[in-house]
Chains A and B, each alone.
Chain A
Amino acid sequence: MSAPAEHPAAANSDAAAHRPARGPRELIFELGAEESRCVEAPAPEGEWEPLEALLGDALRKTPPALPNVSELEIMRHYGHLAEMNFGVDSGMYPLGSCTMKYNPRINEDACRLDGFAGAHPHQPAASVQGLLELMWELQEALGEISGLPGVTLQPAAGAHGELTALMCFRAYHLDQGDVRKRVLIPDSAHGTNPATVSMCGYEAETIPSGSDGGVDMEALRAALAQDVAAVMLTNPNTLGLFEASILDITEAAQAVGALVYCDGANMNAVLGISRPGDMGFDALHFNLHKTFSTPHGGGGPGAGPVCVTEKLASYLPGPVVVRDGDAYAGRMPERSIGRVRTFWGNVGVLVRAYAYIRALGAEGLREVSEQAVLSANYLRQRLSGLFDCPFCRMCMHEFVLSGAAMRKEHGVRTLDIAKRLLDHGFHPPTVYFPLIVEESMMIEPTETEPLSALDAFVDAMISIAEEIRTDPEIVKNAPYTTPVRRLDEARAARTPDLRWRPDPGGLSADG
């Protein structure tokens, strides 16, 4: 049977009750009127030189067709958009590898304090000592947590951190007079890893995973040679498993002069438990928006500070913050690769992460990882009877299920399960990643979910598994309760509509 659009399949009456008005509303360009205003420009004070005289030919002929709307229209418009969104505050968000934990509100207040938010990047250092102290303390804390003492706060995101670290590796090798070509990456790696490698002019080479889900040591040893610049690893890896032979891996790489990079996406599992520096890694990027609770912002801004060993510290991009007695200042490291952005870093994000680390302290951070790992194992234990769990042993902060059997037996894909979860009021897990598990679902509950939410998620998965057996069409046509339903993505790509355009001739020169 097929499920009509109005299928009474709103599995969870609460979710249905909270369902916002269907569909997107008008574009903001379609609101307001010519004379509508939100903020009024101040009246000019006295006489100024006319603009025409100042700008000459450079003066714009047609003003940009921006909206003209009133304040209430703005608040209603964005309020409606907000209601169509799902965030961590809306419900459980077990998106594997993304660490969607609660974003503490005091951190939101902190980054908005005038002393931080109002600072200009080119103020004399004497007038921003509080900010520089905060940044220096954060560098120290990240160095201690990672076991890698050289820290730059510059990178804006995890992928930017990866790129920064690989650029430092490249500069280091070149300084040794060492031109290397290849970078080895396990097949379970994030897609950004190979893309980063190619941006650094290296060739990415894939190393298969072994039957235990870890790096295949034999394949790795066979690939390692003097032309290998780096090995990039995620540990715990994207299956949520700790690389048992991590020391063998880093030693084998270093034996041929390669440097070893740790993708820090999964650091939420090992805070205060194990440090990448002690595992033999040469560099790591942190995702402050994952591990240290800064909000994801609907796609950013994050921050991806990079931590390295002593020997690589002088290659880091700057400015980094240094302390001289009681005074703090910015400095470019001696052999720095240069700049990777305009100013100091995503400082507003750094303030939030610093506040989080200070709130928790050493013991609190360790408890974060302990609970994250316990919650993941609790879910794994409760769900592994229901779905295939290809590497089913004690996991770290996340684990991967496979919907392959469900697909084979009932024709229901993992994507369908993900969409059906939306009707239950849950954000789905990461799906179809890692690539090495068929129909994968990567589940990361994080430490901040209450037990009642974990149990409700299990109940939803049980109910969906039951539907798959009894009435798979319900699942295949989900979701039913969301502001819009499944999208025509093929049409979006085939006939791209990427912007609104004004009605020609509808604008006058003076707006």
Chain B
Amino acid sequence: MRYIPITCEQREAMLRAVGVSAIDELFDAVPDAVRLKRPLALPGPLTEIELSRHLASLAGHNAPATGLVCLAGAGCYDHYIPSVVDHVARRPEFFTAYTPYQPEVSQGTLQAIYEFQSMVCELTGMDVANASMYDGATAFAEAALMACRVTKRSKVLCAVSVHPAWRATLATYAAAASVEVVTSPAEETTGVSIVPGSSTLESLLAGDDVAAVLVQSPNVLGCIEDVAAAAAAAHAHGALAVVAADPVLLGVLEAPGELGADIVVGEGQPLGNAMSFGGPGLGLFACREEFVRQMPGRLAGRTVDVDGAPAFVLTLSTREQHIRREKATSNICSNHGLNALVAGVYLAAVGRSGLQSIARDAVQKACYLKGRLIETGRFAPVTSAPYAREFALRYDGDVERMRSEMLERGYLAGVGLAELCAGSGRPAVLSDQDSVVLFAVTEKRTREELDAFVREVSSL
């Protein structure tokens, strides 16, 4: 049988050693009433060649974004992945290992995590980062719960301009934990939620009962929020500032830590991880040192072994559920280790100036595309605030029809804002968002591709 190396003869010998005559006797403890008396109704087994053919056929029934000119983002981005990244990720010593509970034989995983944590700190401008979480949305929700623990309050203020699926995830976690989520509106003309000196934000914070102000920058419309103003407002009322950031754009955007953020979260997919239909990516989670013991997730630290050799180990585990059980900071007991490894290799491969130029390219090309699309007369600006690699435009026709017609011409033409919000069951970002499209541009796009897209879309 596939993947089982034991021979029939060996199986017989093992049964004799155990003292039974047939396999069935091993299951005597399973009461008859709960025994399955028929084979599972599953398709028959496939040989490797059949399986390979079947999978290729299923894969062939997709027109993946990487084979198109991808202008879709909304939380998942088509950046170039350097060749070395997957060559490292395919080392079996990394991907066939478990969580590094036995540090003596897990130094590879542990050192890679330590380096990853250091890189996330550098990107975000924070003191400490954990070993990663499931994705951006869960990191965001966990940050809200952590802020409640730190401040001993049970209400959070979330900007409506945060990605709707992240807000939806926050709502799910908050409902279970009986945390109240208040949503602060976005300014329709600029596209941002945080307006310095705004009376709305002040009035929502006035009760001094908010644990955190949660903001994303760039937000779902691509606009850069005033993180410093959000942090100042939060701090004035005893709340923490939780900032969701994009790790690639941090190559050119000011680190949230420099702007007063207390917790920074993000989706790490753009750091060398395949889009893979949206998962697995990884959640980035970093905070100020004073809050480290309230932080969810795994942490690797540097220490020494009995011979005094430098070595790495999982640490501060008294926060965790195998010690604290119901008093743990979170139920999370893993990370996305392989994705974090990938993110680390990616950042090493592109390097300091590389990340900067990737981010710069994306921002400049996004600006170019936005201008060209507006020139066609078919698209109108929605927001006026500065933006990075993503922007929102109003289309003068049916967004989903445009997307499907452009798909046939080889383009993934953005993401409809209405569809993005509808799928998440959260309040709308803008009052009239039915014809709004979000376009994202990465360094992979060439001027030629962008020009061709503009030509094609305006000819519809």
- Are A343 and B277 also in contact (CB < 8 A) when A299-B337, A427-B102 are? yes
B136 in the interface, Cβ–Cβ < 8 Å? Answer: yes
A374→B26 contact, CB < 8 A = yes
- Are A199 and B42 also in contact (CB < 8 A) when A275-B36, A338-B425, A341-B169 are? no
Complex partner residue of A484 from B34, B60, B104, CB under 8 angstroms: B104
A197 in the interface, Cβ–Cβ < 8 Å? Answer: yes
B46 in the interface, Cβ–Cβ < 8 Å? Answer: yes
Central interface residue in A40, A122, A396, by most chain B CB within 10 Å:
A122
A74→B349 contact, CB < 8 A = yes
Binds A, one of B113-121, B198-206, B374-382: B113-121
What residues of A have a CB within 8 angstroms of the CB of B59 in the complex?
Answer: 110, 113-116, 130
B4→A447 contact, CB < 8 A = yes
Q: Chain A's nearest CB lies how many Å from the CB of B109?
A: 4
List residues 287-302 of chain B with CB under 8 A from any CB of chain A: 292, 298-302
How far is it, in angstroms, between the C-alpha of A501 and the C-alpha of B300 when the chains are bound? 15
A67→B322 contact, CB < 8 A = no
B279→A64 contact, CB < 8 A = no
List residues 13-69 of chain B with CB under 8 A from any CB of chain A: 13-15, 17-20, 23, 25-31, 33-36, 39-46, 48, 51-52, 54-67
Binary contact track A256-297/B, C-beta < 8 Å → 1, others 0:
000000000000001111110011000000000000010111
What residues of B have a CB within 8 angstroms of the CB of A127 in the complex?
Answer: 62-63, 407
B26→A359 contact, CB < 8 A = no
A449 in the interface, Cβ–Cβ < 8 Å? Answer: yes
How far is it, in angstroms, between the C-alpha of A59 and the C-alpha of B103 when the chains are bound? 41
A341→B321 contact, CB < 8 A = no
Central interface residue in B90, B251, B412, B423, by most chain A CB within 10 Å:
B423
A296→B97 contact, CB < 8 A = yes
Closest B residue by C-beta to A347? B277
- Are A167 and B176 also in contact (CB < 8 A) when A64-B250, A82-B94, A355-B51 are? yes
B84→A75 contact, CB < 8 A = yes
Bin the interface of chain B by size. Answer: 35 or more
- Are A510 and B165 also in contact (CB < 8 A) when A119-B275, A241-B29, A451-B10 are? no
Bin the interface of chain A by size. Answer: 35 or more
What residues of B have a CB within 8 angstroms of the CB of A493 in the complex?
Answer: 301, 315-318
- Are A347 and B106 also in contact (CB < 8 A) when A115-B59, A361-B42, A489-B313 are? no
Complex partner residue of B112 from A78, A194, A317, A362, CB under 8 angstroms: A78
Binary contact track B70-82/A, C-beta < 8 Å → 1, others 0:
1010111010001
How far is it, in angstroms, between the C-alpha of A357 and the C-alpha of B42 when the chains are bound? 9
Q: Chain B's nearest CB lies how many Å from the CB of A500?
A: 4
Closest B residue by C-beta to A145? B40
Q: Chain B's nearest CB lies how many Å from the CB of A6?
A: 10
How far is it, in angstroms, between the C-alpha of A145 and the C-alpha of B36 when the chains are bound? 10
Q: Chain B's nearest CB lies how many Å from the CB of A224?
A: 19
Binds A, one of B208-216, B233-241, B362-370, B452-460: B362-370
Closest A residue by C-beta to B312? A24
Central interface residue in A41, A279, A367, by most chain B CB within 10 Å:
A41
How far is it, in angstroms, between the C-alpha of A493 and the C-alpha of B255 when the chains are bound? 28
Complex partner residue of B34 from A274, A377, A497, CB under 8 angstroms: A274
A144→B388 contact, CB < 8 A = no
How far is it, in angstroms, between the C-alpha of A341 and the C-alpha of B429 when the chains are bound? 19
What residues of A have a CB within 8 angstroms of the CB of B364 in the complex?
Answer: 44, 48-49, 51, 54
How far is it, in angstroms, between the C-alpha of A378 and the C-alpha of B15 when the chains are bound? 8
B107→A374 contact, CB < 8 A = no
B348 in the interface, Cβ–Cβ < 8 Å? Answer: yes
How far is it, in angstroms, between the C-alpha of A493 and the C-alpha of B20 when the chains are bound? 49
A504 in the interface, Cβ–Cβ < 8 Å? Answer: no
A210 in the interface, Cβ–Cβ < 8 Å? Answer: no
How far is it, in angstroms, between the C-alpha of A56 and the C-alpha of B70 when the chains are bound? 27
A106 in the interface, Cβ–Cβ < 8 Å? Answer: yes
B36→A278 contact, CB < 8 A = yes
What residues of B have a CB within 8 angstroms of the CB of A299 in the complex?
Answer: 98-100, 109, 131, 298, 334-337
Central interface residue in B44, B177, B351, B358, by most chain A CB within 10 Å:
B351
What residues of B have a CB within 8 angstroms of the CB of A167 in the complex?
Answer: 172, 175-176
How far is it, in angstroms, between the C-alpha of A448 and the C-alpha of B331 when the chains are bound? 30
What residues of B have a CB within 8 angstroms of the CB of A360 in the complex?
Answer: 2-3, 45
A450 in the interface, Cβ–Cβ < 8 Å? Answer: yes
How far is it, in angstroms, between the C-alpha of A509 and the C-alpha of B252 when the chains are bound? 11
Binary contact track A27-44/B, C-beta < 8 Å → 1, others 0:
111000000111111101
Closest B residue by C-beta to A166? B176
A195→B39 contact, CB < 8 A = no
How far is it, in angstroms, between the C-alpha of A149 and the C-alpha of B317 when the chains are bound? 37
Complex partner residue of A66 from B74, B105, B305, B351, CB under 8 angstroms: B351
What residues of B have a CB within 8 angstroms of the CB of A272 in the complex?
Answer: 36, 39-40
- Are A86 and B424 also in contact (CB < 8 A) when A22-B309, A124-B404, A499-B114 are? no
Complex partner residue of B60 from A130, A341, A393, A449, CB under 8 angstroms: A130
B333→A451 contact, CB < 8 A = no
A404 in the interface, Cβ–Cβ < 8 Å? Answer: no
A114→B75 contact, CB < 8 A = no
Complex partner residue of B404 from A75, A126, A141, CB under 8 angstroms: A126
Binds B, one of A155-163, A215-223, A305-313, A467-475: A155-163
How far is it, in angstroms, between the C-alpha of A459 and the C-alpha of B322 when the chains are bound? 31
A29→B118 contact, CB < 8 A = yes
Q: Chain A's nearest CB lies how many Å from the CB of B343?
A: 11
B357 in the interface, Cβ–Cβ < 8 Å? Answer: yes
A498→B299 contact, CB < 8 A = yes
Q: Chain A's nearest CB lies how many Å from the CB of B279?
A: 4
B177→A199 contact, CB < 8 A = yes
- Are A343 and B279 also in contact (CB < 8 A) when A298-B95, A300-B338 are? yes
A201 in the interface, Cβ–Cβ < 8 Å? Answer: yes
How far is it, in angstroms, between the C-alpha of A120 and the C-alpha of B62 when the chains are bound? 11
What residues of B have a CB within 8 angstroms of the CB of A394 in the complex?
Answer: 18, 20, 25-26, 28-29
What residues of B have a CB within 8 angstroms of the CB of A141 in the complex?
Answer: 42
A385 in the interface, Cβ–Cβ < 8 Å? Answer: no
How far is it, in angstroms, between the C-alpha of A98 and the C-alpha of B300 when the chains are bound? 21
List residues 410-441 of chain B with CB under 8 A from any CB of chain A: 412, 415, 419-420, 423-425
B128→A498 contact, CB < 8 A = yes
A93 in the interface, Cβ–Cβ < 8 Å? Answer: yes
List residues 215-244 of chain A with CB under 8 A from any CB of chain B: 241-242, 244
Complex partner residue of B62 from A98, A116, A336, A373, CB under 8 angstroms: A116
A485 in the interface, Cβ–Cβ < 8 Å? Answer: yes
B425→A58 contact, CB < 8 A = no
Complex partner residue of B48 from A82, A106, A170, CB under 8 angstroms: A106
A41→B29 contact, CB < 8 A = no
How far is it, in angstroms, between the C-alpha of A393 and the C-alpha of B28 when the chains are bound? 11
Binary contact track A319-352/B, C-beta < 8 Å → 1, others 0:
1000000000010100011111111111111010
B60→A115 contact, CB < 8 A = yes
Complex partner residue of A49 from B96, B119, B367, CB under 8 angstroms: B367
A485→B307 contact, CB < 8 A = yes
What residues of A have a CB within 8 angstroms of the CB of B65 in the complex?
Answer: 118-120, 123
What residues of B have a CB within 8 angstroms of the CB of A144 in the complex?
Answer: 40-42
Q: Chain B's nearest CB lies how many Å from the CB of A229?
A: 12
Q: Chain A's nearest CB lies how many Å from the CB of B144?
A: 12
How far is it, in angstroms, between the C-alpha of A323 and the C-alpha of B317 when the chains are bound? 44
A450→B303 contact, CB < 8 A = no
Q: Chain A's nearest CB lies how many Å from the CB of B96?
A: 3
Complex partner residue of B253 from A59, A109, A355, CB under 8 angstroms: A59
B409 in the interface, Cβ–Cβ < 8 Å? Answer: no
Complex partner residue of B96 from A88, A113, A147, A502, CB under 8 angstroms: A88
How far is it, in angstroms, between the C-alpha of A85 and the C-alpha of B113 when the chains are bound? 13
28 A-B contacts (beta carbon < 8 Å)? A24-B107, A40-B354, A58-B386, A60-B251, A89-B93, A116-B276, A120-B78, A121-B75, A122-B72, A124-B407, A166-B176, A194-B321, A247-B31, A298-B108, A299-B99, A338-B169, A342-B165, A345-B279, A347-B277, A355-B55, A366-B39, A374-B23, A374-B26, A396-B29, A433-B322, A487-B104, A492-B313, A511-B351
Give the 5 A-B CB pairs with smallest separation, nearest first: A343-B278, A115-B59, A130-B61, A121-B278, A118-B66
